A and B are shown apart, each in its own frame.
Chain A
Amino acid sequence: MLAPAVLLVFVALAAALGPRLLLGAAWVQRAPGWGILAWQALTISVVAAIALVGLTLAAPLTPLAEFIARLCRTTPAEVIEHYQTPAGTWVAYLAALAAAGLAIRMLWLTTSTVVNAARGRHTQLTLLRVLGTEHPDGFVIVKHPKPLVYCLPGLRKRVVVTSAALEVLDPHELELVLAHERSHLRSRHDLALALADVLRRALGPVAVFRVAHEQVSTLIEMQADDAAHDRHGLARALVTLGSGLAAGVPESGLGAGNVAAVARVERLAAAAGPWKPWKRRQSLAVALGTAILLATPVALAMSPIVEMIITGCTTILG
């Protein structure tokens, strides 16, 4: 009946207000780990609601109605009655097709993302074996004039440092940068990034998924920055490496620029003193918000069933 419409309203509201709320919230940068969780919850909730619009519209179709009836221990006729829309069967078929299409698309993009990442890493590891020199502190040195530090996540995780980066960083700064990279590897930030990437590619036209991808990319860096015990030193290393990479390269004027790096340095700089303590209350609030955000689409989709059960009870009682 009303479920698809209510879900659509939820999609519109969450997709419009969610990003605005999170982009304006100071706590997201204060506790980037919780920020990542919030963005994930928001995007998953919106994509689930979109899928459920399709499923609720398709619910009156016989096979689905029978399936739902079995789950809810009622008759298909009841299900059809409560999910029927004035739009008719055609819309139900279209919705079923769209929902299946979305599911297949997500599955395909997930597979291709995982395969591409694995392939990219495999190439890197193969070349590293012959080009790299192991350092006793657990990273690999590669001879190259560009100052780069990066990590390869996954089962055979590695941190790679170029010879140029070793030259421009002092040992203390290097230690801080390594702490940052190891934090990426420990927290499996590649998975958070892959999830955001899949959603962005599947539903790119919806702005919330693009913004979420951009935000998650920045927030994983900020969370890793917090693993370094000296914020000043890390900010210095960031500036040294970011500027060193630019040396000798003509300014292209293309590309998105490096907004994230600027935001990171400003964040590290602003927090010269100790952070304002993060309270358990705040964690609880974010966790609760996340749970509500995730539960809402499901609850909305099931509302006709709940209504059906309640009316069923009153009929019996009456």
Chain B
Amino acid sequence: MKQMGQLEAAVMHRLWDWDRPASVREVVDDLQRERKIAYTTVMTVLDNLHRKGLVHRQKQGRAYVYTAVMSQEDHTASMLEDVLAQTADRGAALLNFVEQLSSEEQVQVRTALAKFSKRGNQSRDPGEKE
């Protein structure tokens, strides 16, 4: 399962780098410079990626050629959009460490932190393990 993920990533990175339609054969040949891999395996991987909506495919002659649906940057942006949306409506799909602070809030937290460091330098928490 994990290996499958690595393969999917390797295939996607090639499609992103080439930025043009590529056949299974081309992907296999490029991958084989690094590792031994069967044609059918790569075909399955591309099929999976197509099913997941990450690549387009087009019939060219008797075989398909594949292109990435979006650039790597756009994919990342769309993935992180869910996280960046300031939101109560995100629900419980994911938990964000901290959301954006307004300039006023930045002043507030910096002040609190400054007060803390002054005190912290005088007496460090004895129960604290460093």
Q: Which residues of A contact B (CB under 8 A)?
A: 113, 116-117, 119-121, 123-124, 126-132, 142-144, 146, 148-153, 162, 177, 180-181, 184, 189-191, 193-194, 197, 213, 217, 220, 229-232, 235-236, 238-239, 241-243, 245-246, 249, 251, 255-258, 261-262, 264-266, 268-270, 272-274
Contacts and interface: CB of A to CB of B under 8 A. Distances in A.
Interface stretch (B19-27, B36-44, B56-64, B107-115): B107-115
Contact of A162 (B49, B80, B119, B123): B80
At the interface, is chain B mostly helix, strand, loop or mixed? helix
B83 A148 contact: yes
Most buried by A among B49, B79, B84: B79
B86 A255 contact: yes
Contact of A239 (B88, B100, B106): B106
24 contacts: A116-B91, A116-B93, A120-B94, A124-B82, A126-B52, A126-B54, A127-B79, A130-B75, A142-B80, A148-B80, A148-B97, A150-B95, A153-B92, A190-B93, A193-B95, A242-B109, A245-B98, A245-B100, A245-B101, A258-B102, A262-B101, A265-B112, A266-B108, A269-B113
Interface residues of B, number: 53
Binding site secondary structure of chain A: helix
Given A148-B83, A273-B123, A258 B95 contact: no
A211 to B, nearest CB: 13
B124 to A, nearest CB: 9
Contacts of A128: 79
Interface string B72-86: 100111111011101
Nearest 6 interchain pairs by C-beta: A120-B93, A242-B101, A269-B116, A245-B100, A194-B92, A149-B97
